[in-house]
Amino acid sequence: MLVSILLSLNLILLVFNLLPLPPLDGSQVLAMFLSDASMRRFQQTMAQPPAQLISLIVAWRLLAFILPPVRVLVLNLLYPGSTYGA
């Protein structure tokens, strides 16, 4: 039971931090697609606390759609003979 809980918590943190929304870790991917001026303007906007709060709320809402397929994928990789999500 404890291992199952730890797996679920780690999956949530993995998916949550990979979302490309500031202030999450995945937001650094945006730097590859924006020009220098656009990236500076984007960083200044996202440095504001209301923008960060809105991004966290959006990320939390997206997590409900992204996490179930990731969980099924991980369970199917851990238990290849079973049919989770089928």
Domain extent listing, the chain: 2-78
Residue 52: CB atoms within 10 Å: 16
**pLDDT for 6:** 92
- Mean predicted lDDT score pLDDT of the chain: 84
**pLDDT for 21:** 78
**Burial (Cβ within 10 Å: 0-12, 13-18, ≥19) of residue 69:** exposed
The predicted-structure confidence for 59-78, as pLDDT tens digits, reads as follows: 889 888 999 999 888 888 88
Which residue is it, tokens 């780690």? 10
Tell which residue, 19, 23, 33, 27, has the closest CA to residue 65.
Answer: 19
Torsion angle of the four alpha carbons 52, 53, 58, 60, in this order, in degrees rounded to the nearest 10: 110
